[in-house]
Amino acid sequence: MNQFLEKFINSVFIRPGSALDLGAGDFKDVKALKKECWFCEGVDLKTGADLKKPYLSQNASLDLVFSNYVFQFIKNKNQFLKTVSDNLKKDGWLFIHTFDDSDKAMKSGISEEFIKQILLDNGFKDISTKVFDYFDDAPGHNHWHRILEVTAQK
C-alpha cells in the first residue's frame, strides 16, 4: 500500500472504516485496505468510471476518500472535489497525492496555495498540505518527483 496513505490512516483512524479510491489503477491500495478489514471500493477509467463526470458510490457517507496521482489529470477540479465531498460523511477525510507544480517530470500546475483555496471553496476544513521529494524506482521510471500531499476533512 502507498506508505504515506498507510501512515495517514494509522494517525487518524483507530479502527477500520469505509473508503473509496478514486482512480484506483491496479487496485493495490483497495486490496491492501480490504486485507486490513476496511470496506473499500475503487473506481478507475480502466473499469468504466470516468471521474470527469460525477461519481456517487452506493455506499456514500464514507469515512475516507483517497486519490493518488490522478488529480493532475482532472481538468474540472471543482467537480472532482464535489465528487469527493458527496461520497464522504460529515467529518470524513480526504487524502490526495498529486505532483506539485515544481515537479520536473510532470508539470501539474497545482500548488499548495491553489489546492488549499479550492478545498476551502468546496467547504473542506482542517486542510493540510506538504510537498516532498520522492524517488520513483518503478521499472522504466527511475526519477525524482515532487509529491504534493493533501489531507482535509469534510
Ligand X SMILES: C[S@@+](CC[C@H](N)C(=O)[O-])C[C@H]1O[C@@H](n2cnc3c(N)ncnc32)[C@H](O)[C@@H]1O
Q: How many of the other CB atoms lie within 10 Å of CB of 107? A: 11
Q: What is the C-alpha to C-alpha distance for residues 121 and 138, in angstroms, rounded to an integer?
A: 36
Hunting for cell 460525477 — which residue is that?
54
CA 39 from centroid of its chain's CA atoms: 17
Residue whose C-alpha cell is 493540510: 128
Considering only the stretches 17-25, 32-40, 109-117, 136-144, report the one whose residues sit in contact with ligand X under the rule CB under 6 A.
Answer: 17-25
Shortest distance (Å) from residue 71 CB to ligand X: 9
Contact 88, 154 (CB under 8 A): yes
Residues 63 and 154: beta-carbon distance below 8 Å: no
Q: Could you say which of 51, 65, 115, 148 contacts ligand X (CB under 6 A)?
A: 51
25 lines the binding site for ligand X (CB under 6 A): yes
Q: Does 69 bind ligand X (CB under 6 A)?
A: yes
Closer residue to ligand X in complex, CB, 52/89: 52
Nearer residue to ligand X within complex by CB, 46 or 130: 46
SS3 96: strand
Residue 125 or 143: the one with the smaller Cβ distance to ligand X is 143
Is 4 an interacting residue with respect to ligand X (CB under 6 A)?
no
The answer to whether residue 92 forms part of the interface with ligand X (CB under 6 A) is no
| Residues in touch with ligand X (CB under 6 A) | 2, 23-25, 44-46, 49-52, 68-70, 73
